[in-house]
Amino acid sequence: MGRSEDRPGAPEGRQGSGSGGLDVRLRGVVCRHGRLEAVRGVELEVAAGERIALTGTNGSGKTTLLRAVLGLHRRFEGEILVGGRGCRSAAEWAWRRRACGWIPQRPAAGRFPLLAGELLASSGAPAEAAVAAGRLGVGGLADRPVGSLSGGQLQRMHLARAVGCVAAGAGVLLADEPTAALDFAGQEEAAEVLTSLPVTLLVVTHDRAMAARCDRTLEMAAGRLREVS
Ligand SMILES: Nc1ncnc2c1ncn2[C@@H]1O[C@H](COP(=O)(O)OP(=O)(O)OP(=O)(O)O)[C@@H](O)[C@H]1O
């Protein structure tokens, strides 16, 4: 383990109310897919521990924006700071990946079958993730390949992994439509789990109940961001 200030979620990186989490700041962020400008000059300040719902039309750039914060879309213009840190070196990118937990909209296609238990363990806090999986009703599926899980079971597994990421020190959680595949009870449960974590939350959602639990709702349209509540 490195110096304490190198750990995601270390107090040196925190700001704001002390409720936990890292602050996120975006200045003039532009992301392209080839010639398409998917994110167009986004400015955003998120305080540590704040919960932001990101809504908007399909194809408006929400996923691209989250992926840029996470470091999965690295070619962007402007500045993205998490806990006051930008990313220039490989070490800084590695820190960013640990600092930000991620619930993807679609699981990455893998060449080898990944077991659900391995997905939970990759959070960095396997025990906490396993407890969360049990609470979310998928604890008994840990030995199943993730490709064999239903959409809702997989989403619950990713949610449990995210709980593990936070336990392992992530200060920001980026969630891309985390309740889209869930039944009504599951949507309620997932929203409760996500919004009660001591972390800064950016959640892409079309679920009004989830948005209502957040501190602010932002809307994205054609790559631009505006505040709606
Ligand atoms: N890998 C890619 N290559 C080319 N174009 C892409 C790629 N990923 C996204 N795009 C395009 O960029 C734009 C923004 O896509 P993005 O996935 O960020 O939107 P979104 O707001 O998350 O959409 P949705 O609500 O449908 O999930 C869309 O026009 C999309 O087709």
Q: Which two tokens stand for residue 56?
A: 């908007």
Residue 16 CA to ligand 1 centre (angstroms): 32
Across 34-82, where does the E strand assignment appear?
36-46, 51-56, 76-82
The enclosing domain of 64 has a CATH number of: 3.40.50.300
Count Cα neighbours of 92 within 13 Å in the Cβ-side half-sphere. 12
Tokens 């980026």 correspond to what residue?
174
The pairing of strands 216-221 and 224-227 is: antiparallel
Complex ipTM value: 0.97
Q: Helix, strand, coil % (nearest 5) of the chain?
A: 35, 25, 40
- CB count, 10 Å around CB of 114? 15
Quick one: pLDDT at residue 71?
A: 86
Residue 36 CA to ligand 1 centre (angstroms): 10
Tokens 């997905």 correspond to what residue?
119
- What is the extent of the structural domain holding 114? 4-227
Residue 4 CA to ligand 1 centre (angstroms): 37
**Side chain identity at 3, as an amino acid letter?**
R
Helical H runs in the chain? 62-70, 90-99, 116-121, 126-135, 151-167, 184-196, 208-212
pTM of the entire predicted model? 0.88
Residue partners of 41: CB distance under 8 A and separation at least 6: 28, 29, 30, 78, 224
CA-closest residue to ligand 1 atom 31: 59
- pLDDT (tens, 9 = 90+) of the chain, 229 residues, equals 333 344 454 434 433 334 589 999 999 999 999 999 999 999 999 999 999 999 999 999 999 999 999 988 888 999 999 999 998 888 998 899 999 999 988 766 566 678 999 999 999 999 999 999 999 999 999 999 998 999 999 999 999 999 999 999 999 999 999 999 898 888 999 999 999 999 999 999 999 889 999 999 999 999 999 888 7
Q: Which mutation among 36, 75, 103 tests ligand 1's pocket best, with the greatest number of atoms within 8 A of CB?
A: 36
**Ligand 1 pocket at CB < 6 A:** 33, 36, 38, 56, 58-64, 105
Contact (CB, 8 A) for 37 and 5:
no
**How many domains, the chain?**
1
Contact (CB, 8 A) for 109 and 173:
no
